[in-house]
Structure 1
């Protein structure tokens, strides 16, 4: 769980980002102009900032200059090379161009947080502990034997918890875009995870779509 400042002047995009980040367990503060962002940065501490460049009041580059050591992902519709180079040379951790897929943004947020925070190397839920560094899974304190694919599937569900993922999307994320096998392999691996870890009531089937790891 991280404290994230979202600086985006388009209300719908800001709200969409906030909802999805909160679904996976983060705490978010949304602001809509550069001057408010600067004030928030002065008042509180954040683990990460998602920062648009084109903002009213003060632009994203000005805001970033006031953000002392706050990891930052620039989030903007400006896809020009000069803007990307400028942001990265200033020290930003990543740069993503709108429009983007929410799962891509969540993955990039997770990657930056893992690089910049000492905590958050594991996740515990319903007696299950997944260790992202050692790639191991425990159930009630005992290590559970899982195949590499089972581990990757659970990690993907954990990192996208409370979000419905289609079977096709899970195939892309876990097996890779070039996988040519039967889509039912997702169902088989889900059933194995449910049985091994006692997650029958936690890994939900989403009708006509796929699966969701539900954690309240």
Structure 2
């Protein structure tokens, strides 16, 4: 997975982002001010920077100028149109404002890493291989026929592996906010995926909540 530098001066937010990125397999380094961020970028190689704008010592825009084309997501409370325009005009890969949903940040990280070819286009675990580019799934080398919603649900679980997701959140992520069905739809699709992929012990049921794709990192 990717090496990610988190530049955020609020310790609780920094730690929250770091823990969730590590859960899905990324290697993370945390710093809390602009000058330290620049020193860290010069000392180590990173695949992605998650960068606040309002930082001690040196603001995020100045840090970004010295990022040497490292893919960057601005994560900031500065939500004005002018700030967003400035971030994108400087070449930022994405711009997310606080408060934010952690699952949205994880999705944006995944998207940037794929776009910049820093993340594998395939995922492999427990005799299963998923090719994200072709949207094909293989079990023990054989192509598995998945419906579009089965595949989308599987991809959400993989991208948020080791994180417990409620049935309601899975419905929102896969079927959309305006879906009128109930959460039993998730249970049916999970059972089908478990059977097709031999993942009875990989897709875990989280009591009274939902499901978690449990993968050793």
1:168 and 2:143 correspond: no
Q: Is the 8 A contact 2:171 2:177 kept in 1?
A: yes
Match of 1:73? 73
1:146 to partner: Cα distance: 1.2
Matched, 1:56 2:42: no
Segments of structure 1 that go 5 or more residues without pairing to the other structure are none
- Superposed displacement of residue 175, structure 1: 1.1
Instruction: Please tell me the root mean square deviation across aligned C-alpha atoms, in Å.
Output: 0.9
Query: 1:50-129 residue pairs with structure 2 within 5 A?
Result: 50-117=50-117, 119-129=119-129
Runs of 4+ in 1 over 6 A off after TM superposition: none
Shift of the alpha carbon at 1:83? 1.1
| Number of positions where the alignment pairs a residue of Structure 1 with one of Structure 2 | 216
Deviation at 1:138, TM superposition (A): 0.4
Give, in angstroms, the shift of residue 182 of structure 1: 2.5
- Provide the residue aligned with 2:130 in structure 1: 130
Structure 1 residue aligned with 2:16: 16
CA offset at residue 117 of structure 1? Answer: 1.1
User: Does 2:47 align with 1:47?
Assistant: yes
- What does 1:184-195 correspond to in 2, within 5 Å? 184-195=184-195
Query: 1:119 Cα shift?
Result: 4.6
Cα deviation 1:113-132 (Å, max 9, x = unaligned): 11111651110011100111
- In structure 2, stretches of 5+ residues that fail to align are none
User: Mean alpha-carbon deviation: is it higher for 114-123 or for 71-80?
Assistant: 114-123
Secondary structure of 2:65's aligned partner: helix
After TM superposition, the score normalised by the length of structure 1 is: 0.98
